[in-house]
Amino acid sequence: MDRGVRGVMQAIVTAVSSSPRHSFSKPLRNVIRLLAGLGVEGDAHLGTTVKHRSRVAKDPSQPNLRQVHLIHAELHDELREAGFNVSAGDLGENVTTRGIDLLGLPAGARLRIGESAVIEVTGLRNPCIQIDRFQKGLMKAVLGKDEHGNLVRKSGIMAIVLEGGEVRSGDVIRVELPPGPHRPLEVV
C-alpha cells in the first residue's frame, strides 16, 4: 500500500482497463488515455451519448454520464474473502483504486488523477444480471444494506472526463469536493 505523509494511506490507482468490445470484463492495460467529454480512448463506452446497450435501446440521445467506471480494490478484497475469484478489470471497471471511499463521495466530486486527468463523479453503477453470469452469486455479494436497511450498491461509481490525460497504475488521486450541501450518489 502506498503511504503518504505521516503514514496516512494515499489514494492511488492500482490498475487500469479498457475494451473496444461490449464485454463484461476489461483487459488490464499499462496506461489508458482519458479524452475530455468522451471517456476512455478505445473503450466501447467512449462518447458524448450513452453507449451501454440497455440505455441506447431506451434513448440513444441521452448524455453519457458513464464515460469512466471506477471500482475500489477494497471491494475485490472483500469479494475474494467471500470466495469469489475477482481481480482488477473483471467487473468492467476502467480504473481500480485503493485508499479512497468511492461510494462515500458526493455527486459532483472531482478526482484529479495522475499529472493531468480530471473526472467528475456522476453517480453509482447499478449492478446487472451480467455479474451473476460472470460468477454465480456475485450480484448478491455486491449489494448490501446500510444501518437503516437501505440498499447499498458496492459495484463502483461512474464519472465523466473534464480534462484528459494518461492514467496508469500508481498514479495518485486527489479529491476535490463540490460546494455543499452535498448530494449523495444515485444510480446513473
User: Residues 84-105: pLDDT tens digits?
Assistant: 999 999 999 999 999 999 999 9
**Tens-digit pLDDT profile for residues 38-81:** 999 999 999 999 987 788 888 989 999 999 999 999 999 999 99
Q: Is the pLDDT of residue 1 over 60?
A: no
Asked if residue 79 is part of any domain, the answer here is: yes
According to the model, what pLDDT value does residue 34 have?
A: 98
Where residue 81 sits, what CATH number does that domain have? Answer: 2.40.33.20
The position carrying cell 467529454 is 37
d(CA 67, CA 178): 20
Asked if residue 63 is part of any domain, the answer here is: yes
d(CA 102, CA 157): 7
d(CA 182, CA 188): 17
Share above pLDDT 90 across residues of the chain, in percent, rounded to a whole number = 84
Mean pLDDT, residues 167-188: 96
Q: Is 148 helix (H, G, I), strand (E, B) or coil?
A: coil
Asked if residue 139 is part of any domain, the answer here is: yes
Mean pLDDT, residues 118-144: 93
Asked if residue 187 is part of any domain, the answer here is: no
Asked if residue 109 is part of any domain, the answer here is: yes
At 5, the pLDDT band (50, 70, 90 cuts) reads: very low
Asked if residue 28 is part of any domain, the answer here is: yes
Looking at the structure of the chain, the number of domains it has is 1
According to the model, what pLDDT value does residue 8 have?
A: 53
Asked if residue 184 is part of any domain, the answer here is: no
What is the extent of the structural domain holding 94?
Answer: 5-176
Asked if residue 127 is part of any domain, the answer here is: yes
Which residue pairs, CB below 8 angstroms and at least 24 apart, start in 48-55?
A: 53/22, 54/128
